[in-house]
């Protein structure tokens, strides 16, 4: 399907890095990324089709550089920054995939990158970010408290704070997943399932589908253990929601973003939540059918499609496998049908008030 830059959807602007996203921005991101990234495959399998009762097309973002769709946003963001902004250095917070993306893109441009992670974060992802040249600091019991630490650090250092689900350049980069999917099929999708944590991927894809394939129903899928954005989507109220341990650590966001929710309420048909057993089953299903590795967040969209299989019966259905960065111990537990331990799934600690004290990622630190 040809890409046109004549249509756009936007949200109210606040500032350059948390403002409006237009369809033209998505087209520009695609132009930038085409020079840097090879499109990831869209695949199907008869056994998967049999299990879902539809015609599924899975977008393999686990095959992306660094194992996640997030690289699209990082590369697009760094390309969009001014020299002055790059010179100030970038500061962010992450559970891992966004941080790896920003660290990689910053390294390519010679930009200083400081990344805050919560306690108990995936140690492999911490190590990967460090190997990509970022300074990794531990602060807080979950992503949102790590983000507050990042904002304070940016205020003190003069660096540029980049939120993983609010920066327009990130959202535009993530939206290129949708452009590729539309170009890789010969007929339109009836429904598309996409994982939702902070909501940036779903927001970007929602804008793209609304512009190019408005009849396609986009359905977000969030872990029931971290339901903040799903609740905000349905109620319109921006309220925090406690987070329970989840293997989908990439979806574990406690505080919804008003701007992101505004896009989602305009472009998505629904957001559904899935429990841990459904996510585990989806990880196993990917291994059994497509022989693909999926992390918890990466398998959430398939879990949602499975939950709604009666609704999508006979449809042409897109499913985004957003990432494959799962630890070997968690993968083995899931494949064997065993419970995933706290250390394997990197859950958030109990919500509590702490003092800010960022330090390198070793030992126990508090926020």
Please provide the CATH number assigned to the domain covering 23-68+167-345: 3.40.50.1100
Same-fold call for 23-68+167-345 versus 70-166: yes
Is the CATH number 1.10.357.10 carried by domain 70-166?
A: no
pLDDT of residue 164: 87
Catalytic residue among 101, 106, 145, 322: 322
Task: Please indicate whether residue 322 is annotated as part of the active site.
Answer: yes
The pLDDT assigned to 19 comes to: 58
Burial of 350 (0-12, 13-18, 19+ CB in 10 A): exposed
Please state, in angstroms and rounded to a whole number, the distance separating the CA atoms of residues 39 and 255.
32
Contacts for 334 with CB less than 8 Å, ≥ 6 apart: 247, 280, 283, 284, 340
Q: Measured in whole angstroms, how far is the alpha carbon of residue 338 from the centre of its chain?
A: 26
Look up the pTM and report it: 0.86
Element (H, E) at 277: helix 276-288
| DSSP sequence for 118-141 | -TT--HHHHHHHHHTT-EEEE-SS
Catalytic member of 70, 210, 257, 333: 70
pLDDT at residue 10, as a whole number: 33
pLDDT tens digits in sequence order for the chain, 367 residues long: 444 333 333 333 333 444 578 999 999 999 999 989 999 999 999 999 999 999 999 999 999 989 999 999 999 999 999 999 999 999 999 988 999 999 999 999 999 999 999 998 888 889 999 999 999 999 988 888 999 999 999 999 999 999 988 899 999 999 999 999 999 999 999 999 999 998 999 999 999 999 999 999 999 999 999 999 999 999 999 998 888 999 998 898 888 888 889 999 999 999 999 999 999 999 999 999 999 999 999 999 999 999 999 999 999 999 999 999 998 899 999 999 887 754 454 433 332 223 333 333 332 222 2
Among this protein's residues, is 213 annotated catalytic?
no
DSSP 65: G
Q: Are strands 160-162 and 191-195 parallel, antiparallel or unpaired?
A: unpaired
Listed by start position, the domains of the chain span 23-68+167-345, 70-166
**Pair of tokens at residue 269:** 């048909």
What local confidence, expressed as pLDDT, does residue 143 receive? 86
Start-to-end Cα distance in the chain: 48
């Amino acid at each position: 399907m040809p890409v046109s830059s004549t249509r756009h959807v936007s949200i109210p602007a606040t500032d350059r890095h948390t403002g409006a996203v237009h369809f033209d921005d998505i087209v520009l991101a695609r132009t930038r990324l085409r020079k840097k990234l090879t499109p990831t495959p869209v695949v199907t399998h008869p056994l998967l089709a049999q299990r879902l009762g539809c015609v599924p097309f899975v977008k393999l973002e686990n095959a992306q550089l660094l194992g996640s769709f997030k690289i699209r946003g990082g590369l697009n963001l760094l390309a969009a920054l001014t020299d002055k902004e790059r010179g100030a250095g970038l500061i962010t917070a992450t559970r891992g995939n966004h941080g790896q993306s920003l660290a990689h893109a910053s390294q390519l441009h010679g930009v200083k990158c400081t990344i805050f992670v919560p306690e108990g974060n995936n140690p492999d992802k911490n190590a990967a970010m460090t190997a990509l040249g970022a300074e990794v600091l531990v602060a807080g019991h979950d992503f949102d408290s790590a983000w507050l630490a990042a904002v304070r650090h940016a205020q003190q250092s003069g660096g540029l704070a980049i939120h993983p689900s609010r920066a327009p350049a990130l959202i535009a980069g993530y939206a290129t997943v949708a452009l590729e999917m539309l170009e890789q099929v010969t007929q339109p999708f009836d429904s598309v399932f996409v994982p939702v944590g902070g909501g940036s991927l779903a927001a970007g894809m929602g804008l793209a589908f609304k512009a190019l394939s408005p009849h396609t129903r986009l359905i977000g899928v969030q872990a029931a253990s971290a339901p903040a954005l799903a609740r905000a989507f349905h109620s319109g109220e921006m309220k925090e929601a406690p987070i329970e341990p989840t293997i989908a650590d990439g979806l574990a966001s406690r505080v919804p973003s008003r701007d992101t929710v505004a896009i989602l309420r305009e472009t998505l048909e629904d957001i559904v939540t899935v429990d841990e057993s459904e996510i585990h089953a989806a990880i196993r299903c990917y291994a059994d059918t497509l022989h693909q590795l999926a992390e918890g967040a990466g398998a959430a969209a398939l879990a949602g499609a499975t939950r709604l299989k009666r609704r999508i019966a006979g449809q042409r259905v897109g499913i985004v496998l957003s990432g494959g960065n799962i630890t070997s111990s968690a993968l083995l537990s899931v494949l064997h049908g065993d419970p995933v331990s706290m250390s394997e799934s990197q859950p958030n600690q109990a919500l509590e008030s702490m003092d800010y004290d960022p330090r390198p990622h070793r030992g126990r630190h508090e926020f």
